Amino acid sequence: MTFSPELEARFAKMIGNYPPGRQKGALIPMLLYAQDEVGSMTPDLIQEVSRRLKVTPLEIEEVIGYYTMLAREPRGKHHIQVCTNVSCQARGGEELFAHACSRLGLHNKEKSADGQFSIEEVECMGACSWAPAIQVNYDFYYDMTPEKFDKLIDSLRQMQ
Amino acid sequence: MNQPTLLRPPHPLEVRVLTRRFEYPRTEPVWLDEYLRTEGYQALRKALDLTPEALVDEVKKSCLRGRGGAGFPTGMKWSFVDRKSPKPKYIVVNADEGEPGTCKDRILMGFDPHRLIEGCLIAGRAIGSNRGWIYIRGEYRVYIDIMDRAIEEAYANGYLGDNVLGTGWSFHLSTHTGAGSYECGEETALLESLEGKRGNPRLKPPFPAVSGAFQCPTVVNNVETYSAVPDIILKGGEWYAGLGTPRNGGTRLVGLSGHLNTPGVYEVPLGMNLLTIVNELGGGVWKGRKLKAIIPGGSSSPVLKADECDIPADYDSFAKAGTMLGSGATVVLDDQTDMVRVLARLMSFYAHESCGWCIPCREGTAWLKKITQRLDSGVGASKDIDLIDQISNSMMGRTFCPLGDAAAMPAMAIARKFRDEIEAKIQSTQAFVPAPGTRPLVVL
């Protein structure tokens, strides 16, 4: 399988970052960056990474089972992650998550039928002083309110 | 690379060392040009003229202690690395910031990335290393991109590479992304993850200073710890130590969150009174309410009741008060907070993040979650409070890594200090009787 030239360049550089013979170190970064392009941990992707890093597919499966950001199934185009841990909880994170679910008509870890949105309740994302916080893919949104959330969803829909 | 202003205007009580380049309302990181204009890489130049022993001594003198949570003296940690070992020595930055309440490392990486690079270089020089990694949690892609760009600048200008500033010493540095795991913030689990494996912790000893990344001697420190090093070398360990209290050197970042008027990340000298931090920097409890409790060092630290909070915020004073300074994350809770709900949320976090490697943690966190959710949903009983205590006690000190303790400590503290409140919640829900023929909501 082939990747974009940018990703190929990143991989080429990445493998050199680990000691000789220990290129397995690049496994987790490689999977995550590849997922950004491919969408999820497809069998093709696992085969390809296995070949490049000289690790067995089983070793890759072990890793995929452990890390929450590595997804077996593609997530929505806009993957919405709402933190409800203690700092966000104190400032309305749980209410925000409930609002987000009903607004999108989704339950935790579900994806909309058109593939545009998916939602997940997540643990602390390190934005505690600006709580409640959400992340859409890799973008943070701070000091959220249900009103701000609705506006954000509207603007994301218009991006389509 | 524009980011929203996460900074607050400087407060008169702050002492700005780490954050001295953070004028408000900055949105751009300090890139190399600006860094060089403001004494950037001067400490590295000085360090290159000093012996490794002198560097370690200077850090020892500064009384700098690890800012990631454990508070271990940094200079001592560095001195554990055998510089004469034939193996390569490695520098690892723990930027897997995930302790609930903690949001300081992102500020340092997001606004002053070269400070961290310079700290890594000096640490590398001190232990005779030629290679380092910055392990950043996967969710922080924006900060990974900032660090990558800063590293590129440093390579292009001779601060990193095969010949650092023409000295013939080589030092290479790169970022390494995590992929969603709180456990990988534990140093040995982080090293496993760096090697491309599941983030299960290793048995200690051997400690990373003896056998760390790729089974070589390794220094693992937090972002904030490395970031403090350039100023220590530039201005002297004694100057830095003098900013804090005895054995608790320097300044540190506090991440204020929860029910406050002005939550934010502030820099304070070690030893500032906790109530001063909350009332002055944090602007006091919001909505005119009263303080109920403070979680003073990240979610793993035992909670302090309002009447226990009038203490200096340093490692030793907090230990005396039965809690810990941890990562400097201060979560403030007002008098309307339902402590049972807080407890249940925290326990569901630890149950989710337990890696399952050892039984006391895997089973303990799962049971603590079940019991606290039972209490929270109104079908608990008084004996559950004793059960929390018993389970927590069985976990303490019996797990591979500190995650077990991290779950047990807050559970025990909340169950003991807020027993009345938990009892009251149980009493208030006793009137609930299931309709005939229905099953209870939760079955033990």
Nearest Cα of chain B lies from the Cα of A158 at a distance, in angstroms, of 22
Q: Which of residues 282-301 of B touch A (CB under 8 A)?
A: 295, 299
Same domain, A97 and A145: yes
Mean pLDDT of chain B: 95
The CATH class, in words, for B32-243 is alpha beta
Q: Which of residues 321-380 of B touch A (CB under 8 A)?
A: 329, 331, 333, 337, 341-342, 345-346, 349, 352-353, 355
Among the listed residues B73, B106, B101, B78, the one whose alpha carbon sits nearest the alpha carbon of residue B7: B106
Q: What is the predicted pLDDT for the residue at B250?
A: 95
CATH code at A126? 3.40.30.10
Question: Which one-letter amino acid corresponds to residue B354?
Answer: S
Chain B residues near residue A20 by CB distance under 8 angstroms: none
Q: What is the predicted pLDDT for the residue at B428?
A: 83
Across B78-92, average pLDDT = 97
Nearest Cα of chain A lies from the Cα of B98 at a distance, in angstroms, of 6
Q: What is the predicted pLDDT for the residue at A37?
A: 96
- Tell me the backbone φ, ψ of residue B179, rounded to 5 degrees: -145, 35
Half-sphere CA count of A96, side-chain side, radius 13 A: 30
Chain B residues near residue A80 by CB distance under 8 angstroms: none
Q: Please report which confidence band the pLDDT of residue B4 belongs to, taking 50, 70 and 90 as the band edges.
A: confident
Across B343-366, average pLDDT = 96
Half-sphere CA count of B90, side-chain side, radius 13 A: 27
Same domain, A91 and A149: yes
- CA-to-CA distance for B63 and A12, rounded, in angstroms? 41
Across B257-280, average pLDDT = 97
- Are the CB atoms for B3 and A130 separated by under 8 Å? no
Interchain pair B182, A140: CB under 8 A: no
Q: What is the predicted pLDDT for the residue at B429?
A: 74
List the beta strands (DSSP E) in chain A: 78-83, 117-122, 134-136, 139-141
Provide the domain limits for residue A26.
5-66
Q: What is the predicted pLDDT for the residue at B336?
A: 97
The CATH class, in words, for B251-334 is alpha beta
Segment (H or E) for B334: strand B329-334
The answer to whether residue B417 neighbours chain A at the CB level (below 8 Å) is no
Segment (H or E) for B330: strand B329-334
Say yes or no to pLDDT of A100 above 70: yes
- Tell me the backbone φ, ψ of residue B236, rounded to 5 degrees: 100, 145
Nearest Cα of chain A lies from the Cα of B296 at a distance, in angstroms, of 12
- CA-to-CA distance for B181 and A131, rounded, in angstroms? 21
A53, A69, A127 member nearest B103 (Cβ): A127
pLDDT in tens, B197-239: 999 999 999 999 999 999 999 999 999 999 999 999 999 999 9
Q: Please report which confidence band the pLDDT of residue A42 belongs to, taking 50, 70 and 90 as the band edges.
A: very high
Q: Per the domain annotation, does A129 fall within a domain?
A: yes
For the record, the structure tokens of B427 come out as 């009493």
Say yes or no to pLDDT of B2 above 80: no
Q: What is the predicted pLDDT for the residue at B433?
A: 58
Chain A residues near residue B326 by CB distance under 8 angstroms: none
Tell me how many helices (H) and strands (E) chain B has: 17, 11
Interchain pair A63, B198: CB under 8 A: yes
Say yes or no to pLDDT of B438 above 80: no
Beta bridge partners, B102, equal none
The tally of domains found in chain A comes to 2
Chain A residues near residue B178 by CB distance under 8 angstroms: 28, 67
Say yes or no to pLDDT of A70 above 90: yes
- CA-to-CA distance for A91 and A15, rounded, in angstroms? 43
- Are the CB atoms for B337 and B329 separated by under 8 Å? no
Interchain pair B345, A85: CB under 8 A: yes
- Using left for φ > 0, alpha for ψ between -120 and 50, and beta otherwise, residue A17 falls in alpha
Q: What percent of chain A has pLDDT over 70?
A: 99
Nearest Cα of chain B lies from the Cα of A105 at a distance, in angstroms, of 24
pTM above 0.90, yes or no: yes
Q: What is the predicted pLDDT for the residue at B442?
A: 60
Q: Please report which confidence band the pLDDT of residue B435 belongs to, taking 50, 70 and 90 as the band edges.
A: low
Same domain, A16 and A51: yes
Nearest Cα of chain A lies from the Cα of B299 at a distance, in angstroms, of 8
Q: What is the predicted pLDDT for the residue at A80?
A: 98
Q: What is the predicted pLDDT for the residue at B1?
A: 46
Same domain, A87 and A144: yes
For the record, the structure tokens of A34 come out as 């590849």
Same domain, A47 and A13: yes
For the record, the structure tokens of B269 come out as 């000298």
B6, B88, B194 member nearest A130 (Cβ): B6
Chain A residues near residue B96 by CB distance under 8 angstroms: none
Question: Would the CATH topology of B251-334 be identical to that of B339-428?
Answer: no
- Tell me the backbone φ, ψ of residue A48, rounded to 5 degrees: -65, -45
Q: Please report which confidence band the pLDDT of residue B440 belongs to, taking 50, 70 and 90 as the band edges.
A: low
- Are the CB atoms for B79 and B60 separated by under 8 Å? yes
* ipTM of the complex model: 0.97
Same domain, A42 and A89: no
Mean pLDDT of chain A: 96
Among the listed residues B107, B191, B194, the one whose alpha carbon sits nearest the alpha carbon of residue B143: B107
Beta bridge partners, B252, equal B268
Please, which contacts does A144-152 make with residues 24 or more away whose CB atoms are closer than 8 Å? A144/A96, A145/A92, A145/A96, A146/A95, A146/A96, A146/A99, A146/A103, A149/A96, A149/A99, A149/A100, A149/A103, A150/A103
CATH code at A36? 1.10.10
* Residue finishing a domain among A17, A40, A66: A66
Q: Per the domain annotation, does A72 fall within a domain?
A: no
For the record, the structure tokens of B64 come out as 């700098």
Q: Per the domain annotation, does A73 fall within a domain?
A: no
Domain ranges of chain B: 32-243, 251-334, 339-428
Interchain pair A90, B140: CB under 8 A: no
Chain A residues near residue B100 by CB distance under 8 angstroms: 85-87, 123-124, 128
- Are the CB atoms for B108 and B146 separated by under 8 Å? no
Chain B residues near residue A139 by CB distance under 8 angstroms: 142
The answer to whether residue B411 neighbours chain A at the CB level (below 8 Å) is no
Chain A residues near residue B177 by CB distance under 8 angstroms: 28-29, 32-33
Chain A residues near residue B139 by CB distance under 8 angstroms: 69, 81, 125-126, 135, 138
Best A7, A11, A23, A28 residue to mutate vs chain B (most B CBs within 10 Å): A28
What lies within 8 Å, CB to CB, of B12 at 6+ separation is none
Among the listed residues B229, B42, B219, the one whose alpha carbon sits nearest the alpha carbon of residue B128: B219
The answer to whether residue B264 neighbours chain A at the CB level (below 8 Å) is yes
Burial class (CB in 10 A: 0-12, 13-18, 19+), B286: middle
* Residue finishing a domain among A66, A90, A110: A66
List the beta strands (DSSP E) in A12-155: 78-83, 117-122, 134-136, 139-141
Interchain pair A55, B352: CB under 8 A: no
Q: Just give the CATH number of B339-428.
A: 1.20.1440.230
